[in-house]
């Protein structure tokens, strides 16, 4: 039996928290503890240094960072910070498109842009190094099933890919 990798989940909180909870609750990889709305508000009141400390603390001891890509994930300040930290700390890094997963109201959303396209590493776009996965099918159920069946292997692959880059 393979040990579950400890992963950090990066996502745009307000629009994608419900979708992200579905992925984190799969139990296939061990993830960071969900933050309650009021706890996050407390962290935010501390400003950028407090947010950085919180993220750094949550990422500590994780071997992989999984960016859950919603319709508006790319380009967000703290998502970018989490991607930069993951790469700098030589953690596995991957993206999973979650737009097909339903939110609390049963709604899907549009596919977002690849957040790794905003970075260049050794003259290459990070999006050409880091793999992203877009579950096939149209339903939330089929996307959920596909993610659940593959997320552990994707995390292992991401860790191996990161080991091959300086």
Q: Above 50 in pLDDT, residue 34?
A: yes
pLDDT band of 40, cuts 50, 70, 90: confident
What dotted CATH number matches 7-163?
Answer: 3.40.50
Q: Above 80 in pLDDT, residue 29?
A: no
Please report the pLDDT score of residue 6 as a whole number: 87
Rounded to whole angstroms, the Cα distance separating 102 from 114 reads 20
String of DSSP letters for 4-29 = PPBEEEE--HHHHHHHHHHHHTT-SS
**Token output for 22:** 């579905």
Residues 76-88: pLDDT tens digits?
999 999 999 999 9
Q: Above 50 in pLDDT, residue 159?
A: yes
Q: What are phi and psi of 29, to 5 degrees?
A: -120, 145
DSSP 3-state of 95: strand
Please report the pLDDT score of residue 162 as a whole number: 97
Q: Residue ranges per domain, the chain?
A: 7-163
**Token output for 150:** 């593959």
Please report the pLDDT score of residue 35 as a whole number: 58
The residue among 81 and 4 whose pLDDT is bigger is: 81
Query: DSSP label at 30?
Result: B
**Token output for 20:** 């992200």
Rounded to whole angstroms, the Cα distance separating 92 from 121 reads 15
pLDDT band of 1, cuts 50, 70, 90: very low
Query: DSSP label at 99?
Result: T
């Amino acid at each position: 039996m393979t040990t579950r990798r400890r992963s950090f989940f990066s996502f745009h909180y307000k629009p994608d928290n419900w979708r992200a909870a579905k992925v984190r609750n799969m139990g296939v990889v061990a993830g960071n503890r969900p933050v309650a709305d009021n706890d996050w508000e407390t962290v935010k009141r501390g400003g950028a240094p407090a947010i950085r400390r919180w993220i750094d603390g949550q990422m500590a001891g994780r071997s992989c960072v999984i960016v859950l890509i919603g319709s508006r994930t790319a380009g967000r300040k703290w998502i970018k910070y989490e991607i930069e930290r993951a790469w700098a700390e030589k953690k596995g890094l991957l993206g999973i498109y979650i737009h097909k997963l339903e939110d609390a109201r049963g709604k899907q959303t549009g596919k977002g842009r690849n957040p790794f396209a905003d970075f260049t590493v050794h003259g290459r776009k990070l999006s050409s190094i880091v793999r992203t996965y877009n579950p096939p099918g149209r339903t939330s159920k089929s996307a959920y099933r596909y993610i659940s069946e593959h997320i552990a292997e994707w995390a292992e692959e991401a860790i191996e890919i990161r080991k091959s880059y300086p």
